[in-house]
Amino acid sequence: MSELITIRCGAMEASVDTAGAQLMNLKKDGKEYLWQRDPQWWPRCAPVLFPIVGNIRDDRADSAQGEIRFGRHGLARNYDFEVTEAVESSMTLSLSSNDDTRAAFPYDFRLDMTYALTDDALEQRFTVTNTGDVTLPFVVGGHPAFNVPAPGCEDEDFGDYVLKFAEPWTYASPTINTKTGLIDYQTRFGLVDNSDTLALSHRLFDVDTLIFEDVPGRTVSMVGPSGHGMRVDFEGFDYLGVWSAANDAPFVAIEPWRGTATGTDEDDVFEHKRGMDFLEPGESAEYAFFMMPL
């Protein structure tokens, strides 16, 4: 049975469900910044993505250890995690490979998810350990969705919000095949042209997810006219997904990724995917991003 664990630090509060180690609340001064899971649009709010981000072609791939089979965003979000540490302002939850995970992903691993609060930010840290005796291929990613308008700003509209980057830049996003979930890196559409600002609109997400590569400074802020919203810092993550659900959903997900869904130009060998990380037996790696309510 899942359990909700809550941590606090000053004006900040966060709750995480042991089911999938999913962040369920992120509050500052008692105001909720995290999307609260309305199935009319999306019944999740911040799933953990491992060992893949997005889709693999036809939900299968080949690997050095045999066939891999799972749906979008991998398998971690579908399993209960064990609470291995919980103190006032931080917690760690762990998932280890088992017979069930090996049937879909024939590798041994341990995934530790640590959530730690400071006075103004929440850190979400992934620690991946190769507990097997062969090389472990994987990627990780976050998927937190935030309320738009921001709490306390109900007089603002979705279209009043913008993404603010660290500096002006020019960028065109690859496109997603909405039927297969695969990414076409050769067919792109412009998002920013020598600007540090991207205006948001519901229609912007008719293409599904906006996919950014090499975001300047690995930081982005989503803010409305009041200056309230969310900043996400994601050093070490070369990709960023920005998504909102169809039918004018009142949220935007800001998703730091180590890799992406399978590209239309890629084969079906898991190890060949863009951004793939590898750990030798006994090795561990850590990746973290930070969420700062504004």
161 vs 184: CA distance, rounded Å: 28
C-alpha 195/C-alpha 210 separation (Å) is 17
Q: Are 127 and 109 in contact (CB under 8 A)?
A: no
> Tokens in use for 264?
């239309």
| pLDDT band at residue 1 using 50, 70 and 90 as cut-offs | confident
pTM: 0.97
User: What phi and psi values does residue 90 have, to the nearest 5 degrees?
Assistant: -155, 160
User: HSE on the CB side for 200, CA within 13 Å?
Assistant: 30
Tens digits of residue pLDDT in 226-285: 999 999 999 999 999 999 998 999 999 999 999 999 999 999 999 999 999 999 999 999
Say if residues 182 and 60 touch (Cβ distance below 8 Å).
no
Alpha-carbon distance of 23 to 143, in angstroms, equals: 10
Rounded average pLDDT over 112-121: 98
Alpha helices in 93-195 (DSSP H): 99-104
> CB within 8 A of 252, min separation 6: which ones?
145, 146, 148, 161, 200, 222, 242, 243, 244
What pLDDT band is residue 214 in, cutting at 50, 70 and 90?
A: very high
Q: For the segment 42-94, what is each residue's pLDDT rounded down to a tens digit?
A: 999 999 999 999 999 999 999 999 999 999 999 999 999 999 999 999 999 99
Q: And the tokens for 68?
A: 């891999």
Q: What amino acid occupies position 265?
A: D
Domains (range + CATH), the chain: 4-293 (2.70.98.10)
Quickly count: other Cβ atoms within 10 Å of residue 181's Cβ. Answer: 19
| Nearest of 142, 143, 165, 141 to residue 223 by alpha carbon | 165
CA 259 – CA 275 distance, rounded (Å): 4
In order, the DSSP letters of 231-259 are EEE-TT--EEEEE--TTT-SEEEEEEESS
Read off the pLDDT of residues 167-181 as tens digits, 9 standing for 90 and up. 999 999 999 998 899
Q: Nearest 5°: CA angle at 73, between 67 and 79?
A: 85
